Amino acid sequence: MMGYVFMRFGADFRPENVDRLREKVGECLNRAGIHGSTNFLLLNMMDELICNILEHAKASWVELEVHPREKEVTVIFRDDGPAFNPSPKLTDEAQDKHIDQQVEHAEGRRMGLYIVSQIAKEWQYQRLKNQANELSLRVDLEAQEVKR
Amino acid sequence: MSRFEIKEELREDGIRIVSPEGKLDVFSFMELRKYFEDLAAEGKAMMVVVDLKGVDFIASSGWSVLLSRRSAFRRLGGDLTVCGMTENIRRVYDTMKINEMLPVADDVEGGIKILSAPEAV
């Protein structure tokens, strides 16, 4: 594992921009020493959150920090969108209560947080003094390997 | 090349092999949903294998189309299964714990076997 990685970006929510952003996030994870299918798994989790932020919150910028440690990685998102605390929904999704109903009725629009809740082990939200959202997610890499 | 395409093959036994290619995400999931809705509109019991070997990214919106369309096909007496996932996509699938809701096979032949013996899933 290498040191922490930071990136800041602003992007219109368009396919070519999001594709480019995915490449950058994948490279960011590589620089943090996270490779292979673990890189792809974390990229999926981060993609769900980034797309939510860009599509729904209409944020003009997003900051991303990746802090790798020996057996875990912490990912921190900051954005200047309206205050939104996803923690209660993530906690609910982690308990796997509503997956069937989501599939039947929501046609995918809420499954993103379900995916995030299945990959991250802990999450913490705060509204910062500069009116930004900050969401911190901890992923237990050992537990993710065991799930395979 | 288009960012997302759908190819299909209708076998003599009536099983339809659907092969999306590209990224199945928030920008493309509606194309796949529309394709399946048009199939379902025929009102017949459809048996469908979705071969994902040409798909290099699936976001939640894409997974949800596959899951919800399987439910829709089953209500009409048909079924849907997926196959050909890359190692990366299989990792996401396993993490989501949706194997009972969306059966997976290694390849098209395996997918056809699942459709032929759904009770074995």
The pLDDT tens digits of the residues spanning A105-118 come to: 555 556 888 899 99
Tell whether the model's pLDDT for residue A126 goes beyond 90: yes
Residues from chain A contacting residue B62 (CB–CB below 8 Å): 108
Question: Which conformational region is residue A33 in: left (phi greater than 0), alpha (psi within -120 to 50 degrees), or beta?
Answer: left
The pLDDT tens digits of the residues spanning A41-90 come to: 999 999 999 998 888 888 889 999 999 988 899 999 999 999 999 988 88
Return the structure tokens found at A137: 């997610």
Select from A104, A137, A133 the least CA-distant residue to A119.
A137
Please tell me which residue of chain A has the smallest CA distance to B92: A41
The pLDDT tens digits of the residues spanning B12-53 come to: 999 999 999 999 999 999 999 999 999 988 888 999 999 999
The pLDDT tens digits of the residues spanning A19-37 come to: 988 998 999 889 888 899 9
Q: Do A37 and B97 touch (CB under 8 A)?
A: no
Considering only the C-alpha atoms of chain A, give the largest distance between any 2 of them, rounded to a whole number of Å: 42
**Alpha carbon of A54: minimum distance to chain B alpha carbons (Å):** 12
Stated as kind and residue range, the H or E segment containing B45 is none
- Quick one: pLDDT at residue B120? 46
Distance between CA B102 and CA B107 in Å, rounded?
Answer: 15
Residues from chain A contacting residue B59 (CB–CB below 8 Å): 44, 47-48, 51, 112
Contact in structure between A43 and A106 (CB atoms under 8 Å):
no
Q: Do B64 and A103 touch (CB under 8 A)?
A: yes
- Quick one: pLDDT at residue B121? 46
Q: What is the predicted ipTM?
A: 0.87
- Mean pLDDT for chain B overall: 92
* A115 interface with B at CB cutoff 8 Å: yes
**pTM for the full predicted model:** 0.90
Q: Do B65 and A108 touch (CB under 8 A)?
A: yes
Of B54 and B1, which is predicted with more confidence? B54
**Alpha carbon of A148: minimum distance to chain B alpha carbons (Å):** 6
